[in-house]
Amino acid sequence: MKKIKIILLILITILFSCKERDKERYFKYKITGNVMATKPKSYTYLPTQDIKSLQPAIAYTDTIYGQNEDSIWYYNSDGSKLTLLAPYKIYNIK
């Protein structure tokens, strides 16, 4: 029984590790940077509080629509705009 659990654990880790490589196969760019995110509201949330912070993010895309010294942006397939803030780094996959 212990051997079966170990084999299942190894198979699951292999499956999840392959997903990152699949993304890199289909997209032209990998961009690492930061996004502005709001913290989840607690039950003591006051309407005047607006707590935002930078969170690390990774984006995969085929086209980059704009770039400044402090941000880079592209549009998703549904038309929404995604902006990554500095410091960002662009990796050319293909």
Instruction: Quote the pLDDT of residue 73.
Output: 93
Instruction: Quote the pLDDT of residue 16.
Output: 65
Instruction: Quote the pLDDT of residue 33.
Output: 92
Instruction: Quote the pLDDT of residue 90.
Output: 92
Mean pLDDT of residues grouped by 10 in the chain (94 residues)? Answer: 73 63 75 82 59 84 90 88 91 86
Which of 83, 90, 70 is closest to 35 using CA atoms? 83
Instruction: Quote the pLDDT of residue 19.
Output: 55
Instruction: Quote the pLDDT of residue 23.
Output: 62
Instruction: Quote the pLDDT of residue 72.
Output: 93
Whose tokens are 């196969």? That residue is 25
Query: Is there a cis peptide before residue 56, judged by omega within 30 degrees of 0?
Result: no
DSSP 39: P
Instruction: Quote the pLDDT of residue 45.
Output: 58
Give the count of alpha carbons within 13 A of 43, CB side only. 0
Instruction: Quote the pLDDT of residue 14.
Output: 65
